[in-house]
Amino acid sequence: MTSTSAAAASDRGVEPVVPRRKDGPRSKRGVILQAAVDSFGRDGFEQTKWASIADQVGIGQTALYHYFESKVHCLLTIMSAELERSLEQFQEVVADQPDDLGRLRAAVSKAFDLTDRETLSARILLAHMDLLTTERASEREEAERQRARILVRAIEDEWSRLIEQGMESGAFVARDPRQTGLALLALIVSVWRWYRPGGRQSLGDIAEFITGACVRLVGPDPDTDQE
């Protein structure tokens, strides 16, 4: 998160996320994460051998442990990085929209504007969310877990606030904004359980369908709200 985004989050009552320290030009951290995303997404986390990541990157296992003390530490880092990307993209896209319905449409559409590797990261995050519920014994793993939990809360707060603002303006039907925001998020992320790149449906088609479903979700309930 940029310093401007962090300040804006603080103004809105959202717990700010401390920016990561940028990697140096000789750092292998980025390519290790890319290799891990590819392997975890393709073969599964449990099936991926930690040593194979070092082989793919072309470093020894000792050097691998310099960056990540365990395969779980690497997984948690991938998860928090994906959450941070999602939060930043949400904040950027809604800031450019003039009205509440436009912000909702843009936020949902942007959630599916991903590269193939980002899609893998989203699938990895969804598949391992239960990892965030239990404290880790390792200090570095626990720090990454806590970072991810802060990001989860920030994303939920941003979506709830978007819905609340739409309800206050009359653009959305007045209901529980927190519940509605979480329902929208659940609908969006559920796609990563079944979507595969190269399948019958493109991400663009899915984005259009899910955006329509989300717009209908914030509108009148046909069974109770219409006279």
* Global confidence as pTM: 0.86
| Residue range 140-158, pLDDT digits in tens | 999 999 999 999 999 999 9
At 5 the pLDDT is 45
| Residue range 155-206, pLDDT digits in tens | 999 999 999 999 999 999 999 999 999 999 999 999 999 998 888 889 999 9
10-residue averages of pLDDT along the chain (227 residues): 45 54 70 96 94 92 91 97 97 95 97 95 97 96 97 98 97 96 97 89 94 94 53
CATH architecture for segment(s) 3-217? Orthogonal Bundle (1.10)
At 197 the pLDDT is 81
At 156 the pLDDT is 98
At 21 the pLDDT is 55
Three state DSSP letters for the chain:
CCHHHHHHHHHCCCCCCCCCCCCCCCCCHHHHHHHHHHHHHHHCCCCCCHHHHHHHHCCCHHHHHHHCCCHHHHHHHHHHHHHHHHHHHHHHHHHCCCCHHHHHHHHHHHCCCCCHHHHHHHHHHHHCHHHHHCCCCCHHHHHHHHHHHHHHHHHHHHHHHHHHHHHHHCCCCCCCHHHHHHHHHHHHHHHHHCCCCCCCCCHHHHHHHHHHHHHHHCCCCCCCCCC
Distance CA 53, CA 35 (A): 6
At 2 the pLDDT is 45
